[in-house]
Every structure is written in C-alpha cells, then in structure tokens.
Structure 1
Amino acid sequence: MNTNTSLVSVIIPCFNAERFIDEAIESILSQTYKNIEIIIVDDHSTDNTCNLLNQLYKNRNNIKIIYLNANKGPAHARNIGVKSSNGEYVAFLDADDISIPQRIELQMNCILQKSADICVSPLKNFGMRKKHINYISTSHEGLKKISTVKCPFPQPSVLGKKYIFLNHPYNENIVAEDYELWSKILFLYKFCVVSSPLIMGRNHSNSISRIQEKRVASETHLIRKHCILSYSPSLEKNIDFQILENAYAGKIMTFDELVLVSSIFYTILNTGLISRFIIKEFNDQFYWICRKHPKLTLRIITSRYLFKKNFRWFGLIKEIKMLISFLIGK
C-alpha cells in the first residue's frame, strides 16, 4: 500500500486530562496529512474529561472514544487503542502534548523514503519551565547506542506500522513501559528520524512519588542492561552492572567507585558507533550521575583528571552557566 495514503490511527490515552485534552485532539485534527483516525482511550477519569469528550467529539466520524471501567494505566490504554484501531500505521500522543501540523506527513514521508518501520523525532518542552528541545540521535544506530544509557527518544513522537505494536504490546506491569518496549523493537525493526521536533511536550506540576521513583530506577537498570547486551553481547564481561545500578540510584559510596563508573561509560562509548552527539549524551548522563552524589562533589571538582578520557570535562559548561545565572540572579 502507498505509505502516503495509508490510514494512520493516532492513539491518545487520557486520565483526568480536562485541562489539555482538547488541545491534543485539535492538533491532530489540524494535520496536513488527512487520512487519520483518532482513538481516544479514557482510563476511567474522575474529572470532567468524559463530559468534555462527549460534548466536543462524540459525533465525529474520524474519532473513536473508548471509556475504560477501571484505571489501569497508560500502557493498558495504549494497547487497547492499538487493538481498536483500523490504520495500517499507528501514532501516539499524550493527552497533555501537542503535535505540530506537519507531524504525520513528515513522519510518513520519512518512513517511505527510508523504507523504515518506525519514525521518531525530538520533542520541544513548554509550560512551567523554560522551553528547550530534547534532541535525539538522527540515526538508527545512534538510537541503539543511546539506549544503553537512557531512553533514546520520547514516547509521544512514535509513529510506526501497527503490526509491530500488536506483536510487541506495552508491558502493563511496569512504570517504564516505553523504555522497555524500545529496548526490544530498536533491535528488531528499522527506525528513521525526523531531526526537527514534531511534538510540543507540556511541563506541568505532576511529579512521581519517591516510591515510584525507586521502582522506575530498578526497572530502568534492567532495561539498560538489556540494551547494553543487545548492542554488544561482548560487553557483559567488561561491565560491573552492580556498580552501574548503584551509580544511577545515587548509592556510590567512594570516589574510586565513581572513577570505575567513568570506565564503564568509556567502554560502552568506545564500542560501535561514536559521534559528537553520542559523546555529549554520555557526558550528560555521567554529569547527572555525579549530581546524584553530592557528598563526593569536592573530590569530583578537584580530581577530574582521574576520570577516563571523554569524561574529564563533563558538565563543565553546565556548571559555568549555572554559576553565571546564580551571580546574575544575585
């Protein structure tokens, strides 16, 4: 079938989204690519979301609204949406985010031109904090490499062939369901990337609890390990995964252990594809780990030379910018 005319089903899970859901839906209705259906899956909202959806969109031919009788989380809602869709392709959007008007058209063209299965893009944040773009690697190999240290692309930017998500549904029993799914399909299917941000991701006050934060940390460690071994099985004998887990959890006790973490990062970095962007992403992750260990700050500042090459000057520009902002603020 011609990709440029294929039906695309856009899945929008929502829960208590009365403040933003209409903006998300309207951003899809305004797409330059017209062969679209919208599947809204309400995850048993307790606010005015259901009434709003009924008032505004109940009688639209290209919109299907599914109301769940119990709250089961976004992974379940997305899986229901995929199963209920009619499109050859599915795209995802969170209820508080916005797609730019050309999003679907650009992603479908990219899939056609690259003979790919899935297309992703960066995301531009807006809302409570300063706007910034979460850039991602522009190559499939780069996405796989980045997945060894972090989630490689934003969930709301995904558009791909429906059969993939039928064969590989979101794991409904974990919190980091998106990263877990990417850790599988990144190594099974062909990805392409639109380099400009196609999604506006809303920043707002919702935050996860410390209990949930610990659960996410535990899950992402297992996912990260899977990505590392999928990227290069030979890395298993060169990496202390317990030290790596402690590093991301903020449980490193000594500076020597932090030096070992830099060696682990160095080993992964120098396996396979390497680029300026990948080096930056690895540096940012190492900087983030160091910030989770404030008791070691003085040693980190005075003993950078002990870190592995490529990780001696991590975060320096960030620290200078923070210092300037602090001084200006005073």
Structure 2
Amino acid sequence: MKTNNVPLVSICIPTYNGETYIEECLNSALSQTYKNIELIISDDASSDRTLALINRLKENTEIPIHIFHHAPKGIGANWNNCIKNSNGQYIKFLFQDDVLAPDCVEKLVNVMFSESNIALVYAKRHFIHTEHSESILEFKNVYGNLHENWSNLKIKEGVIEGKTYLKDRNFLNAPKNKIGEPTSVLIDKACFDKVGYFNEELKQALDCEFWSRLMPFYNIGFVDAYLSSFRLHAAQASAVNKSEKINETEVLYKMYYDTLLPYLHKECRQKLQKRFHPILSRLVKLKARFS
C-alpha cells in the first residue's frame, strides 16, 4: 500500500484554440472534492481567447494554475510538455473540451492508494454532444463502455495485474483502446521514468499505445463509475483524424510485435507473426497470391 498522505495531483490541460469550452473544463477541475491539486496548462500558441479566459479564472482562485507556452509540435508533444512541467505525484489529464465529475480525482486517488505498483486507474465516462449525427451515434455504440470489450476478462471495480489485459484474446480487436481517453485516467508520474512518455510520432493511437506499454510492469485500477465526460463534436482531434483517414493500426501492431509479443494471447501472437515475421509473412503473401 502506498504512503497514506494527500499527494499533489497535477490536472494537465493541453490547449489550442479552446475558447468554446475551456471555462466549463476549468471550472470542473477547480470544483474537485480532492483539494491538493494544481492546474498545468500547456498552450500550443492559441490565437483565440483561450488564454484570456484562463487568466481570468486564475485571478479568482487560490488553486495554482501554471501556464506554459509551447511551440506546436503535435498533440503528443503538448501532452508530454504538461507532464514535464507538472509538480504532482499523479497526473490527471483533462482535455479542453471535456469535464470532470466533482469527485473524479478523489475516487481515482483512493484506488491508486489501495495497493502498491499501480500505475494507472481509469473509470467510465459519459459523452457530451449537441448534434445527433450518424457518425456520433456510431461512435457511442462502438466506444461506449470500453471495459466490456474484452473476451474472458471481466472488469470489475478494483485492481488487476496489467499483464492480464495483454493475455486477453481481444487485445488486438476493435476498439483498440479499451481503457479510454486520457481524461478518464489517473497516472502515477513515476511510471514515465520507466516506460517513457507518449509517442509523439502517433496522432491517434498514442494513448492506447502508452497504456499497453505500462501493462507488462504495473497493476491497473478501475472505478465502476462515470467520473468524466468526453465531448463529441466535429472539430475534436479524433473526428479530424477520421476525416483525414488517419489509420495507425499497422504502426500500432508493429509496436506490439516488437515489444509485447511474449505477453499476448496465442491468437494475438499468431496474428502479429503472420503480419511481421520475415518468413511467416512472406509465406502468407505467397499463399494468398497462388490461392
């Protein structure tokens, strides 16, 4: 069990032209029942009123709000800049379009403290949307309760070994991210020293790739409650990536092949070996060619 104190939690908010929802976002962070927090803002050169709105709120709270100006180098670089400038023992991401439930940090920290070697605690999240398009309906159906998309792994509130996730036969199946977006998780900052930061080469899959990197070494906690709300709208990064037809499955699978293969279920190992093993993949291609 971890030391019984009240550690500082850094609520990390990467921003870029987020004036539409940033006040709602920040107010949800400032309203946490868990009081030992700081807000870390990493701004990618916003040209709208984002920083003005943040500074106005900063003047009216005693909670520390630290603003760092960051040259745009992609979302991963902005996420990592938040982490590197944080002072907390734990990292709680909050994206500029999203909101936290008032007891979000408190409940996640409670599980984090329940036993040792936990690197990540996650929870369910609501969706916020004002439009009811077919694409949003499809997103909700596919990415609703992510923790229910495993095969033999029945996720219940509590803590399990990270390797257990990797052993499930559904690990490679859609949805690829069965943990959730960074807004739905709490991370022990110490784990970045062991496994590195978010992969800045990725645009879409950088969160689930990082979660998988933790799993061989750490335990993972789950809270069976809706502790955050993820906003769906046409301008969000995932929607833009989809419109630009960004698909990182092949890159992600190659990373898994290179780093996680021994931990995976037999069916997942075979799938990756057929794809990337220099001999097996050639045999598969030859068989397809002559069949």
User: TM-score band (shorter)?
Assistant: 0.7 to 0.9
Instruction: Give 2:191's match in structure 1, choosing from 150, 154, 164.
Output: 164
1:225 Cα deviation from its structure 2 partner: 4.2
1:26 Cα deviation from its structure 2 partner: 0.9
- Segment drifting more, 33-42 vs 178-187: 178-187
**Corresponding residue for residue 251 of structure 2:** 219
What amino acid sits opposite 2:127 in the alignment?
A: N
- Output aligned runs, 1:215-294, within 5 Å: 215-223=247-255, 225=257, 229-232=261-264, 235=267, 238-239=270-271
List gaps (5 residues or longer) in structure 2.
148-154, 277-287
Instruction: Give 2:66's match in structure 1, choosing from 45, 61, 64.
Output: 64
Which secondary structure does the structure 1 equivalent of 2:121 belong to?
strand
What amino acid sits opposite 1:213 in the alignment?
A: K
8 Å contact kept, 2:83–2:91: yes
- Output aligned runs, 1:42-57, within 5 Å: 42-57=43-58
Q: Which has the larger radius of gyration?
A: 1
TM-score by length of 2: 0.73
- Segment drifting more, 53-62 vs 71-80: 53-62
Query: How many angstroms apart in 2 are the aligned matches of 1:200 and 1:97?
Result: 6
8 Å contact kept, 1:12–1:41: yes
Which secondary structure does the structure 1 equivalent of 2:54 belong to?
helix
Query: How many angstroms apart in 2 are the aligned matches of 1:194 and 1:98?
Result: 17
**More helix by proportion, 1 or 2?**
1
**More strand by proportion, 1 or 2?**
2
What amino acid sits opposite 2:216 in the alignment?
A: F
Query: How many angstroms apart in 2 are the aligned matches of 1:6 and 1:25?
Result: 20
- Segment drifting more, 93-102 vs 179-188: 179-188
Is 2:70 the counterpart of 1:41? Answer: no
8 Å contact kept, 2:171–2:268: no
Query: How many angstroms apart in 2 are the aligned matches of 1:117 and 1:84?
Result: 19
What amino acid sits opposite 2:189 in the alignment?
A: K
Instruction: Give 1:189's match in structure 2, choosing from 218, 221, 224.
Output: 218
RMSD (Å) for aligned C-alpha atoms: 2.8
Query: How many angstroms apart in 1 are the aligned matches of 2:250 and 2:268?
Result: 19
Higher relative contact order (CA 8 A, sep 6+): 2
Which secondary structure does the structure 2 equivalent of 1:213 belong to?
coil
1:209 Cα deviation from its structure 2 partner: 4.7
Is 2:231 the counterpart of 1:202? Answer: yes
Cα deviation code 1:185-212 (max 9, x no counterpart)? 1221111111112111011112225685
Which secondary structure does the structure 1 equivalent of 2:68 belong to?
strand
1:32 Cα deviation from its structure 2 partner: 0.7
What amino acid sits opposite 2:188 in the alignment?
A: K
Query: How many angstroms apart in 1 are the aligned matches of 2:165 and 2:26?
Result: 29
8 Å contact kept, 2:13–2:39: yes
Is 2:123 the counterpart of 1:121? Answer: yes
Change (3 A) 1:153 1:40: same
Change (3 A) 1:163 1:232: same
Identity of aligned residues (%): 30
8 Å contact kept, 1:179–1:220: no
List gaps (5 residues or longer) in structure 1.
245-256, 258-330
